[in-house]
């Protein structure tokens, strides 16, 4: 008698988890297509072929469902960014591999990136708990770039400061998001692989220019001084 009861309970748990996963997946699809505001509970129920009551049972509310979607989407997005310690070769070779893999993953997971960017844009229309989750995902993505930026600075003879590492990581993530949006607007004119090939020398150039005492940094300072000297005097 005990074994059949356990079997039935396990079956219920399995079915419940399957329903929860289905609702979350459908909600992710709809939010990527229509945004959070445009995704209704009835639309999720219709596409998932599950009653609306299932959504409230598993997630409590539409806001609860959004929080689950944001958390799962964020986790998947972070998995697309290679871990720096798993890459081999010189610093530039590792960074090149990292950026190429991100470009490849972006092309294959357009639905996921579109979802997260849509939620970024709609942050003023969603609950604060979900906003914190989305911002936390962005900060976690920046954290995954930080070891690469630290290694790049040091390979170029610079001293890595937290400020510079943060700035370069932000630059790289902003470029990544911008490339994806540009590709969504005009996919025929935007080659993601080519754009990320261009990102590597761009990051190197920005890093060189940001290292105090480097030749690139020195040229930048001299140009500013020359520009000030060349200004005509008034009067």
Residue 35 domain-assigned (yes or no): yes
Residue 96 has a pLDDT of 95
Residue 58 domain-assigned (yes or no): yes
Dihedral sign, Cα of residue 141, residue 147, residue 152, residue 154:
positive
Residue 227 domain-assigned (yes or no): no
Residue 235 domain-assigned (yes or no): no
Residue 165 has a pLDDT of 96
Q: How far apart are CA 216 and CA 63, in angstroms?
A: 49
pLDDT in tens, the chain (235 residues): 555 655 666 666 677 788 999 999 999 889 888 888 888 999 999 999 999 999 999 999 888 888 888 888 888 888 889 999 999 999 999 999 999 999 888 877 777 777 877 877 787 788 788 888 888 888 999 999 999 999 999 999 999 899 999 999 999 999 988 888 887 788 787 788 888 889 999 999 999 999 887 665 545 444 555 555 555 554 4
The full DSSP string for 49-77 is TS-HHHHHHHHSSHHHHHHHHHHHHHHHH
Q: How far apart are CA 202 and CA 198, in angstroms?
A: 6
Residue 147 domain-assigned (yes or no): yes
What is the number of domains present in the chain? 1
Residue 216 domain-assigned (yes or no): no
Q: Determine the structural domain holding residue 113 and report its residue range.
A: 2-211
Residue 54 domain-assigned (yes or no): yes
**For the domain that residue 147 is a member of, what is the CATH number?**
1.10.357.10
Residue ranges of alpha helices (H) inside 35-161 are 41-48, 52-59, 62-80, 91-108, 110-121, 128-155
């Amino acid at each position: 008698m005990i074994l059949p009861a356990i079997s039935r309970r396990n079956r219920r748990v399995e079915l419940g988890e399957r329903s929860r996963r289905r609702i979350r997946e459908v909600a992710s699809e709809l939010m990527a297509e229509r945004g959070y505001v445009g995704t209704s509970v009835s639309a999720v129920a219709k596409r998932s072929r599950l009653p609306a009551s299932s959504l409230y049972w598993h997630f409590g509310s539409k806001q609860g469902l959004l929080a689950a979607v944001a958390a799962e989407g964020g986790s998947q997005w972070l998995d697309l960014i290679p871990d720096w310690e798993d890459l081999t070769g010189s610093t530039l070779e590792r960074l090149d591999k990292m950026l190429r893999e991100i470009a490849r993953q972006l092309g294959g997971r357009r639905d996921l990136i579109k979802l997260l960017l849509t939620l970024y844009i709609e942050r003023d229309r969603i609950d604060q708990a979900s906003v914190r989750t989305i911002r936390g995902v962005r900060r976690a993505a920046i954290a995954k770039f930080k070891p690469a930026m630290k290694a790049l600075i040091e390979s170029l003879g610079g001293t890595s400061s937290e400020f510079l590492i943060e700035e370069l990581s932000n630059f790289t993530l902003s470029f990544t998001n911008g490339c994806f949006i540009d590709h969504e607007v005009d996919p025929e004119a935007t080659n993601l692989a080519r754009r990320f090939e261009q990102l590597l020398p761009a990051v190197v150039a920005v890093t060189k220019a940001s290292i105090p005492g480097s030749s690139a940094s020195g040229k930048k300072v001299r140009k500013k001084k020359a520009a000030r000297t060349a200004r005509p005097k008034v009067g």
